[in-house]
């Protein structure tokens, strides 16, 4: 044993990493030469078909005169337009997420009795094993809540008497329990983190049986457990809009991929969490919030179109914020003219901004929403339209709700576990082959030389 730090990067590791970097490089031109769809996308960014699903549908084009042309984005859950599902929910209903979870898992909208029984089932599952908070969450608190969530999910395997039983009924039971437990795993991990690392009081509220998922998140997170009906409503809508987005998004595809091996539910969902943790997937709304924070510091007059426009140009020219050349929250891999989730979100966001006194911030978001597509078109050669995506507003919503940045991506996971569960059930029930896509090898064959002759 040595006294070397667990996280130390030694000169030897730097040297070896350079060797690895050199040997791992693939010339991007080879993808064109051999017609390999890099990232499982074609040249236009459209995903390569690798499976069939009935769970959801993402539309961004329509056929006109035999040609595919861009259209306003549409998102369907089991054939139902998500915008219609949300529009049908009464203003005083906070169980939309539960209703849509039922829809995703069972293929039909529940009647009043079915929804009530389903909510009661989820409520009964909404608890962690005895001493789990003390022995797992509090023993070694993580500074990253997605890491804590993944660890919690994997540890639950040890509490399950039949964790490897992949029968449909057992997998459904495991999925329903995880859907119910995700808010507790996330919020309790955050409460522990802020206690140990920030010196704040440790407050653990038990969930309320009569509360919805959205209500319980706010109840468990806030020290005084108080929230307004509009806050609960907007968080419920946010969960609905994030819970599912087709089988091809990275974390859901990961669920299919890992599930196809026949592994247990906890391993499959932990893998999906690992995917969502990646900033290219689940962290976009954090970037949006940080970008706007920088914008509000740099731009003196938030209503001045010229000032705001110049800042946006500086973003694209890599002169502002993180100098990545991106306007975060604008554009999507699938949608072009509009993201239906952002469109649906907008009216709710405006209402909450009025309740919370964020009218000036909302006006700034609205101005950026209008100017950014024009400036991107001016500065970039683009092949499809650019519009705000769901992350453009979701971070602003969470900010107004007082949610900490550390929980932005876990909230995404709390919603998306419903979609992951539906796709895992689809994969388990399908009983298909293990997924095994092919990679083309371009490394030439070589002769082995004696060790003393090697460079």
Q: How confident is the model at residue 211 (pLDDT cuts 50, 70, 90)?
A: very high
Distance, in Å, from the CA atom of 102 to the CA atom of 306, rounded to the nearest integer, reads: 48
Closest by CA to 364, choosing from 287, 299, 314, 290, is 299
Task: For residue range 132-160, list pLDDT tens digits in order.
Answer: 999 999 998 999 999 999 999 999 999 99
Report if residue 106 sits inside a domain. yes
Same-domain status, 373 and 413:
no
Same-domain status, 423 and 324:
no
Helix ranges (DSSP H) in 111-167? 112-125, 132, 145-156
The structure tokens listed for 401 are: 């709700």
> Which DSSP state fits 442?
-
Q: Who contacts 136 (Cβ-Cβ below 8 Å, separation ≥6)?
A: 151, 152, 155
Same-domain status, 336 and 188:
no
Report if residue 20 sits inside a domain. no
Place of tokens 């700034």: 364
Report if residue 6 sits inside a domain. no
Report if residue 166 sits inside a domain. yes
Task: For residue range 323-345, list pLDDT tens digits in order.
Answer: 999 999 998 878 888 899 999 99
Same-domain status, 265 and 289:
no
Q: Is residue 5 scored above 90 in pLDDT?
A: no
What is the predicted pLDDT for the residue at 1?
46
Q: Considering the entire predicted model, what is its pTM?
A: 0.93
Cα atoms in the Cβ-side hemisphere of radius 13 Å centred on 93: 18
Q: Provide φ and ψ at 71, rounded to 5°.
A: -145, 170
Distance, in Å, from the CA atom of 357 to the CA atom of 359, rounded to the nearest integer, reads: 6
Tell me whether residue 339 is one of the annotated catalytic residues.
Answer: no
Distance, in Å, from the CA atom of 278 to the CA atom of 154, rounded to the nearest integer, reads: 18
Beta carbons of 112 and 430 less than 8 angstroms apart: no
Task: For residue range 401-430, list pLDDT tens digits in order.
Answer: 999 999 999 999 999 999 999 999 999 998
CB neighbours of residue 280 within 10 Å: 8
Same-domain status, 208 and 80:
yes
Same-domain status, 223 and 274:
yes
Query: Is residue 343 within a helix (H) or strand (E), and if so which, with residue range?
Result: helix 340-356
What is the predicted pLDDT for the residue at 384?
64
Report if residue 453 sits inside a domain. no
Beta carbons of 357 and 363 less than 8 angstroms apart: no
Same-domain status, 264 and 370:
no
Q: Who contacts 65 (Cβ-Cβ below 8 Å, separation ≥6)?
A: none
Same-domain status, 268 and 370:
no
Same-domain status, 229 and 340:
no
Report if residue 314 sits inside a domain. yes
Report if residue 455 sits inside a domain. no
Task: For residue range 186-210, list pLDDT tens digits in order.
Answer: 999 999 999 999 999 999 999 999 9
Same-domain status, 240 and 364:
no
More confident position, 120 or 41: 120
From the list 236, 264, 339, 391, the catalytic residue is 391
From the list 245, 332, 339, 423, the catalytic residue is 332
Same-domain status, 309 and 328:
yes
Report if residue 5 sits inside a domain. no
Host domain of residue 385: 284-400
Same-domain status, 101 and 246:
yes
Q: What is the CATH number of the domain that holds 394?
A: 1.10.230.10
Distance, in Å, from the CA atom of 167 to the CA atom of 192, rounded to the nearest integer, reads: 35
Q: What is the CATH number of the domain that holds 159?
A: 1.10.580.10
Task: For residue range 37-96, list pLDDT tens digits in order.
Answer: 888 887 777 788 899 999 999 998 888 888 888 888 899 999 999 999 999 999 889 999
Tell me whether residue 391 is one of the annotated catalytic residues.
Answer: yes
The structure tokens listed for 345 are: 């979100």
Question: What is the share, in percent, of the chain residues with pLDDT greater than 90?
Answer: 81
**What is the tally of structural domains in the chain?**
2
């Amino acid at each position: 044993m040595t006294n070397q730090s667990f996280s130390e990067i030694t000169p030897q590791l730097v040297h070896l990493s350079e060797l690895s970097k050199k040997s791992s490089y693939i010339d991007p031109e080879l993808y064109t030469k051999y017609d390999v769809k890099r990232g499982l996308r074609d040249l236009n960014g459209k995903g390569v078909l690798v499976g069939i699903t009935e769970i959801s549908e993402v539309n961004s084009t329509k056929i006109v005169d035999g040609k595919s042309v861009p259209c306003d984005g549409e998102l369907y859950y089991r054939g139902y337009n998500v915008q219609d599902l949300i529009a049908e929910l009464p203003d005083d209903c906070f169980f939309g997420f539960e209703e849509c979870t039922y829809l995703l898992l069972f293929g039909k909208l529940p009647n009043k009795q079915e929804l009530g029984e389903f909510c009661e089932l989820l409520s009964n599952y909404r608890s962690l094993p005895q001493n789990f908070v003390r022995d797992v969450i509090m023993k070694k608190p993580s500074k990253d809540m997605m890491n804590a969530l993944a660890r919690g999910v994997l540890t639950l395997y040890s509490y399950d008497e039949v964790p490897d039983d992949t029968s449909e009924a057992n997998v459904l039971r495991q999925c329903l329990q995880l859907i119910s437990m995700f808010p507790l795993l996330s919020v309790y991990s955050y409460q522990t983190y802020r206690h140990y690392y920030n010196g704040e009081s440790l407050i653990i509220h038990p969930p309320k049986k009569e509360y919805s998922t959205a209500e319980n998140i706010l109840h468990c997170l806030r020290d005084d457990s108080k929230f307004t009906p509009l806050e609960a409503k907007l968080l419920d809508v946010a969960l609905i809009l994030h819970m599912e987005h087709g089988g091809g998004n990275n974390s859901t595809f990961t669920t299919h991929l890992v599930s196809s091996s026949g592994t247990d539910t906890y391993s499959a969902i932990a893998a999906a969490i690992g995917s969502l943790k990646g900033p290219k997937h689940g962290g976009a709304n954090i970037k949006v919030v940080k970008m706007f924070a920088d914008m509000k510091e740099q731009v003196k007059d938030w209503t001045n179109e010229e000032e705001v426009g110049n800042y946006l140009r500086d973003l694209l020219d890599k002169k502002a914020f993180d100098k990545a050349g991106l306007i975060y929250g604008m554009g999507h891999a699938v949608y072009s003219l509009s993201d239906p989730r952002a469109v649906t979100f907008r009216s709710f966001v405006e209402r909450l901004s009025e309740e919370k006194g964020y009218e000036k911030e909302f006006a700034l978001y609205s101005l950026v929403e209008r100017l950014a597509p024009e400036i991107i078109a001016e500065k970039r050669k683009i092949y499809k339209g650019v519009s705000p995506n769901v992350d453009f507003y979701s971070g602003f919503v969470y900010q107004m709700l007082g949610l900490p940045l550390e929980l932005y991506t876990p909230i995404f996971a709390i919603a998306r576990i419903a979609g992951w569960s539906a796709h895992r059930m689809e994969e388990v029930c399908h009983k298909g082959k293990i997924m095994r896509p092919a990679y083309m090898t371009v490394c030439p064959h070589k002769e082995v030389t004696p060790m003393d002759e090697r460079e």
